[in-house]
Structure 1
Amino acid sequence: MQEVLDALEAPPIDPEARIALQRYYVRCEMLRKVDKRYSEDGRSRITLLVRTIIESEGNENALVEPVLVAVNSVLRPGWTGKGLAFIEAFDGFPFVTTLETMRGLNLFKEENLGQYLGMVLHNRLLSLLGPPEALSAEKPKRKPARPLRRAA
């Protein structure tokens, strides 16, 4: 994990954030082993997740567990496939200030902050990028039926 963070020149992160990143990495790797249609490897997922946060304007120091949970929840191919427009959608969104406001309201449990922040991000991306395009599920090709032989 540290190798990926170093390559991205990410700032130091707290233990909860590191555990979240490790959890996402392992989940991706397990899914790839179980389902051959799942092509994303853990390193790519973590790289995209961290880059989305630290490369968006004003969020360089927002690598904390609730933000990682929230951003991970909106990493959908229909949005991430839009490239730089996806990362730019986070520009000016004040992760840290939003978290402080959420905490100050005393309406959310600490362990649920990432989930609710993810809902906010989802709505923001819907308004900026539109709905994520559904990936067309490839249906397995059917073998052509063999013609029936007629008895002579």
Structure 2
Amino acid sequence: MQTLLRRYDLLRGIDPTRFTAKGEEQVTLLLRTVFESSNGAAALTVPILRAVSGCMHKTWVEKGLAFIEAYDRIHLVGLHWMLTDLGLEDQLERVFRHKLKEILGSALATAAPKKTPRPNAARMAA
């Protein structure tokens, strides 16, 4: 947790416009997200916390309660055990991100660019 806290504060110090949340806020949200989900205290392990932390994209986090509730639909502990049994524990964050994308939509989705009207050829000739 201390490492995450320092990392968030360091990134915020480098680029406060991109990293707006304070370290304490991010760690609190991380713990609430995992603990208050249907997974509960059993999911408060380092690998799961690290993977959930990596999935805290601004687009998803800004959805507020929907972000936290999305984790009710993801069996964090079960997925961790399954991936560990398969020797794929390093893919935990990727699996969580995939599940969140199915529930919340893409984290990289941006608003469609506004179309600028093309100048009319008749106006240009005038």
**Does 2:91 match 1:91?**
no
| Structure 2 residue identity aligned to 1:131 | S
Structure 2: stretches of 5+ with no match in the other structure: 112-126
Shift of 1:128: 0.9
1:87-126 Cα deviation digits (max 9, x unpaired): 1111042222222222222x23xxxx2x411111111111
1:59 to 25, 33, 40: 40
**Does 2:6 match 1:26?**
yes
| Structure 2 residue identity aligned to 1:58 | N
- The sequence identity of aligned pairs, in percent, is 33
User: CA separation in 1, counterparts of 2:98 and 2:16?
Assistant: 31
Residue in 1 aligned with 2:58?
A: 77
User: CA separation in 2, counterparts of 1:36 and 1:85?
Assistant: 25
User: CA separation in 1, counterparts of 2:16 and 2:67?
Assistant: 26
Give TM-score scaled by structure 2 length. 0.78
| Structure 1 residue identity aligned to 2:94 | M
User: CA separation in 1, counterparts of 2:14 and 2:105?
Assistant: 31
User: CA separation in 1, counterparts of 2:11 and 2:31?
Assistant: 20
Structure 1: stretches of 5+ with no match in the other structure: 1-20, 136-152
Cα pair distance change 1:129/1:104, threshold 3 Å: same
Residue in 2 aligned with 1:36?
A: 16
| Structure 2 residue identity aligned to 1:123 | H
**Does 2:99 match 1:118?**
no
Shift of 1:60: 2.8
8 Å Cα contact 1:53-1:59 kept in structure 2: yes
